[in-house]
């Protein structure tokens, strides 16, 4: 394919505004922020421009490594659960008749019209001691005392899962929907049971989209600080909380930037893994 000057210019015109905005509002601030990693914190906040690598060695203290590890575990569990719940849901929606499909998709997206914070606070009301869940459970006599449902890691997982599940469902739904139904028929025609067809044809061909969904769920879960704050009660601290605290409470920008970098690196590694795996499945 030959690309002349004209098409280059045309592309520049179309890409230009987006590129400029991304550079000014994302790349430059990020570089500025990350550059503070190599400096020391000021006595009352701010940055003192004296070179140091202390921020990095501090990152590898068990205290912080634990938080990063916990965050990875929480985000990982959320992602796996989202996959396990989201895949069958998306699959079922894709096979519905057209009218019901629209209704089901609307139901999936409807909660998004409500503010994320409000939805998380709603959970605290539902799960609190005298909340709906405990009332119901005691009401039908399953338990005598209200359960401690709030402010633990499980609650954080539930909140994140609730918040991001649709990001898993939508890409999988669109992949199953796009899949040529004749491929399933061909598989059956060649002697494959419906289960075999699912694992040999449907799943491999929709896996790349499931991985995209996994990234879409994992990344915001990993860096989240609202959900641990509200539903974790500050007890189940995640790396997002840590970063926010460094910037806003401890006023240690250099170390906050270092933590942020660690998060970006983990995310990039995962994205890379995702793209490698989906390329493999496409050509395996």
Q: Which residues contact other proteins (rule: CB under 8 A)? A: 180, 182-183, 185-194, 196-197, 200-201, 204-205, 281-284
Name the phi and psi angles at 231, rounded to 5: -90, -20
Based on CB atoms, which residue is closest to other proteins, 59 or 205? 205
Minimum CB separation of residue 194 from other proteins in Å reads 8
H or E element at residue 9? helix 5-22
Task: Give CA–CA dist 68/105, Å, rounded.
Answer: 34
Number of Cβ atoms within 10 Å of the Cβ of 127: 21
Based on CB atoms, which residue is closest to other proteins, 12 or 186? 186
Task: Give CA–CA dist 163/158, Å, rounded.
Answer: 8
**C-alpha torsion angle, residues 46, 52, 56, 62 (rounded to 10):** -80
Q: Which residue, among 33, 85, 29, 36, has the nearest Cα to 56 in the 3D structure?
A: 36
Contact 134, 146 (CB under 8 A): yes
Based on CB atoms, which residue is closest to other proteins, 2 or 189? 189
Give Cβ neighbours of residue 42 (< 8 Å, ≥ 6 apart).
48, 251
Based on CB atoms, which residue is closest to other proteins, 17 or 191? 191
Minimum CB separation of residue 102 from other proteins in Å reads 21
Number of Cβ atoms within 10 Å of the Cβ of 67: 18
Minimum CB separation of residue 196 from other proteins in Å reads 7
Minimum CB separation of residue 61 from other proteins in Å reads 45
Q: What angle do CA 151, 152, 156 make, to 5 degrees?
A: 90
3-state secondary structure of 40: strand
Minimum CB separation of residue 283 from other proteins in Å reads 7
Task: Give CA–CA dist 175/192, Å, rounded.
Answer: 21
Based on CB atoms, which residue is closest to other proteins, 45 or 204? 204
Based on CB atoms, which residue is closest to other proteins, 115 or 283? 283
H or E element at residue 88? helix 62-94
Minimum CB separation of residue 204 from other proteins in Å reads 5
Based on CB atoms, which residue is closest to other proteins, 66 or 200? 200
Minimum CB separation of residue 87 from other proteins in Å reads 17
Name the phi and psi angles at 45, rounded to 5: 90, -175
Based on CB atoms, which residue is closest to other proteins, 29 or 194? 194
Minimum CB separation of residue 177 from other proteins in Å reads 16
């Amino acid at each position: 394919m030959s690309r002349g000057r004209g098409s280059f210019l045309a592309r520049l015109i179309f890409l230009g505004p987006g590129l400029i905005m991304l550079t000014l509002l994302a790349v430059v601030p990020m570089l500025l922020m990350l550059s503070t990693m190599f400096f020391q914190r000021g006595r009352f906040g701010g940055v003192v421009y004296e070179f140091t690598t202390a921020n990095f060695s501090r990152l590898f203290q068990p205290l912080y490594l634990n938080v990063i590890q916990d965050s990875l575990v929480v985000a990982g569990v959320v992602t796996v659960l989202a996959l396990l719940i989201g895949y069958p849901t998306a699959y079922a929606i894709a096979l519905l008749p057209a009218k019901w499909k629209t209704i089901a998709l609307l139901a999936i997206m409807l909660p998004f019209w409500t503010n994320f914070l409000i939805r998380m606070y709603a959970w605290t009301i539902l799960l609190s001691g005298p909340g709906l869940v405990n009332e119901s459970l005691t009401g039908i006599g399953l338990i005598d005392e209200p359960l401690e449902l709030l402010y633990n890691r499980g609650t954080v997982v539930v909140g994140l899962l609730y918040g991001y599940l649709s990001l898993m469902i939508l890409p999988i739904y669109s992949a199953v929907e796009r899949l040529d139904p004749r491929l399933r028929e061909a598989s059956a025609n060649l002697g494959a049971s419906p289960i075999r067809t699912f694992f040999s044809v449907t799943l491999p061909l929709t896996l790349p989209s499931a991985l995209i969904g996994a990234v879409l769920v994992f990344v915001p879960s990993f860096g989240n600080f609202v959900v641990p704050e509200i539903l974790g009660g500050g007890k189940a601290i995640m790396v997002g909380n840590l970063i926010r605290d460094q910037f806003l409470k401890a006023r240690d920008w250099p170390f906050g930037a270092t933590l942020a970098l660690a998060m970006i690196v983990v995310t990039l590694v995962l994205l890379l893994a995702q793209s490698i795996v989906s390329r493999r499945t496409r050509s395996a």
